[in-house]
Amino acid sequence: MHDFLTKTRFSGNPLSILNQFLDEEKTKELVSSTDNWKFAGYVIDIGFNTVRIITSDPYKKAIGGMPRGSFLIMVPEDLEGIAPHFSLLRVSGVAPTPLTNSVQQTYFELHKKSMPELDRWTVSELQWGSIDCDLLGMFYPNPDDAKKIEFSGDINAVVSAHRYRVFAPDERILNIIINGMVKSELNQSIGKLRLTECRLPFNNAKSNLEDVSVQISLKDFLGARTAMFGKTRLGKSNVVKIIANATIEALASQSEYKCGQLIFDINGEYANTNHQNISLREMHSEHCQVYALIQKDETPSKPLRLNFYTDPSEGMRVLGSLLQAEGNLSGYVKSFANLELPTFELCNNMGFGEKIRAYRKIQLFWSILNQSAFQANEGELKALIPFVANGPNGFDPGFTDDVRFKVYSFIDAESGTSDGVPARPKTLSQMKREYASIAKYVLNSKDPLLSTSGQKNELFDGDDVVMLTFLNPNTGRGTQWITDYKKYHSPDAQNLIKQIIDDLNGSKTVILDLGSADDKVRKYFSNMISTAVFQEQERKFTSNSLKSHFVNLFFEEAHNLFPRTVKDNTDVYSRFAKEGAKFHIGMIYSTQSPSTISQELLAQTENFFVGHLSSQDEAKSLGKVNVYYDGVQEDILSSKTPGYMRMLTQSHRFVVPVQVKHFGS
């Protein structure tokens, strides 16, 4: 009666299937139907972390083999009157038995004498073996809700080994093991369970266990950090696409959660369909918005540009990197490519004299851009350089009347004209003309007031002279060197940020197509847009309007953004790692080696997908970062099948081997 009441109480619990499973296995044993028996062996030694079982070849054949990494369940010999529960084991290796030495001696003698056959008593003795297993924890009914399952990373008690029996789970039990603790919200399939890389059926018996679908909850990824590790060409990008695709599909069918996705597509594979894969944009054209540096006819997109005028420091850095990529630079072009310009914030904090020099450097840079036909919003630019007494004012460099008279008198003498001194510049093109005239004067006159010996009372320092030379050289291409880089510029780039933020707030997937771009251009856009996303989510948090709106950012080659040795803990990426969860900012980052990533970020990472690693040091470092990967390093080192991942999410308490489905299939 007590057993009946117990079974009735837990009849609505998924673990009630365990009673049915054990009854079926008992019936098979009674009628000697052992061909499909799930019995795996007996426990001969048990601890709180490991279990050793004894098994036999017929048992292994019946269950389809017992490879390393496979799951077994350990149950008490009698569950009558108690709640259905089982302990989860993972096969870790072969262990010696008490008769190992005797068995090896028998093998030695047999092979030595080349005996063709064994008597059945000897065969019976030799087919027994021992297996070591890791004890991962226990599944049992929730004490507060009889219809729910709980999992603990330990077991409540250890009794004598003979009180336990070990079984291989069938599809029903395995589904509980793999998916029983996954949150039901925003649930999606990511692939199939795959216990081993080897696909050859053991003993020619096909198992249905690997037909078990592996589920994930996208709620585990919202506002969380997710790492993708593994050698190149083994499926990291495919997993990223699967997660991004699953997020779009899961959110489309509900209204509680909102999530914008921002993908930094450094190879153009998420935005553009190629001969190998369909793109995420093509799969979900109504939910995706592409911003491209180089727009393609076959891929609808908006232009991705930066405004070199409004951010002269980064603009000069980007132009310099593009020039350096040309190679074979010499003279003033090489010097120009290595220049650094101040930010407007830095200028505003300078003393009077330094501020004048800094503003003039920026104006000179603007003149170079104007000479190269970079378009500008002049009203916006003019306001960036406020009035400075006897110094720059908008587009007026603020040179004294004496300096301007000398410069334009020299120009008239050189050209044989008598135009005289023009009015002070009021437009960008007039300012460019003034600096071009000064460049000609500096490079061709011998006026000591404008010499380049480095004295503080001189108008221009060495960097200024480099820019003046680049603007109006006596020989060479000058500003024609950067004319081709206009494709990276737009005077409306500030609106770009607003458009992207609006798309993310509308739960769109924004793909930044950075294919074929220079590394520094990529870094510029990554910094600029990441900072804007952080500020927007922080604004929502402080105004109490964050609610259930998340943003997930996808980074490839993450070791460049989150290096192991982080000198600046205040950059936007470090803030993502530390404060992202609070502001509902999630990150999905991928790289080949876990040892190259910031240890602080790894310690904060909740979800992992690990493919093949070829270095023992890398595999060991993974085990140190996350204890759940301790014990599966050998499998990670030996398996090289694309898409074969060892997955761990917030819902899972142990590593799950999964063959991630191919995106688009």
The verdict on residue 69 lying in a domain is yes
User: What pLDDT was estimated at residue 265?
Assistant: 92
Paired strand residues for 306: 489
What is the residue range of 322's domain?
312-487
**Residue 592 sits in the same domain as residue 527:** yes
CA–CA gap between residue 113 and residue 100 (Å, rounded): 20
The helix or strand, by DSSP H or E, that contains position 410, with its residue range, turns out to be helix 401-415
Amino acid at position 396, single letter: D
Report the b/e string of 430-451 with b at 16+ CB within 10 A. ebbbbbbbbbbbbeebeeeebe
- The string of DSSP codes covering 127-181 is TEEEEEEEEEEEEEEETTEEEEEEEESS-S----GGGEEEE---HHHHHHHHHTT
How, if at all, do strands 288-292 and 302-303 pair?
parallel
**Residue 116 sits in the same domain as residue 250:** no
Domain boundary among 598, 628, 644: 598
The verdict on residue 664 lying in a domain is no
Q: Are 62 and 5 in contact (CB under 8 A)?
A: no
The verdict on residue 408 lying in a domain is yes
**Residue 479 sits in the same domain as residue 533:** no
The total number of structural domains that make up the chain: 3
Choose among 434, 477, 481, 476: nearest CA to 459.
434
Read off the pLDDT of residues 424-461 as tens digits, 9 standing for 90 and up. Answer: 999 999 999 999 999 999 999 877 666 544 455 578 88
Low-confidence ranges of the chain (pLDDT < 50): 2, 112, 115, 121, 452-454
The verdict on residue 659 lying in a domain is no
User: What pLDDT was estimated at residue 433?
Assistant: 96
φ/ψ (deg, to 5) at 616? -65, -35
CA–CA gap between residue 476 and residue 177 (Å, rounded): 71
pTM for this prediction: 0.81
The verdict on residue 606 lying in a domain is no
Through-space distance between the first and last CA atoms of the chain, rounded to whole angstroms = 52
CA–CA gap between residue 45 and residue 98 (Å, rounded): 12
Contacts 24+ apart (CB under 8 A), 381-389: 381/309, 381/310, 381/428, 384/310, 384/344, 385/359, 388/352, 388/355, 388/356, 388/359
Q: Are 178 and 212 in contact (CB under 8 A)?
A: yes
The verdict on residue 266 lying in a domain is yes
Tokens linked to 592: 């080949």
**Residue 361 sits in the same domain as residue 450:** yes
Amino acid at position 588, single letter: I
**Residue 366 sits in the same domain as residue 342:** yes
Domain boundary among 158, 179, 200: 179
- The string of DSSP codes covering 308-359 is TTT-HHHHHHHHHHHHHHH----HHHHHHHT-----HHHHHTS-HHHHHHHH
CA–CA gap between residue 382 and residue 372 (Å, rounded): 19
Tokens linked to 402: 């004496």
**Residue 469 sits in the same domain as residue 508:** no
**Residue 572 sits in the same domain as residue 474:** no
Q: Are 604 and 225 in contact (CB under 8 A)?
A: yes
CA–CA gap between residue 469 and residue 364 (Å, rounded): 11
Judged on CB neighbours under 10 Å (0-12, 13-18, 19+), 495 is exposed
Domain boundary among 435, 454, 487: 487
**Residue 23 sits in the same domain as residue 169:** yes
CA–CA gap between residue 196 and residue 658 (Å, rounded): 9
**Residue 316 sits in the same domain as residue 460:** yes
The verdict on residue 261 lying in a domain is yes
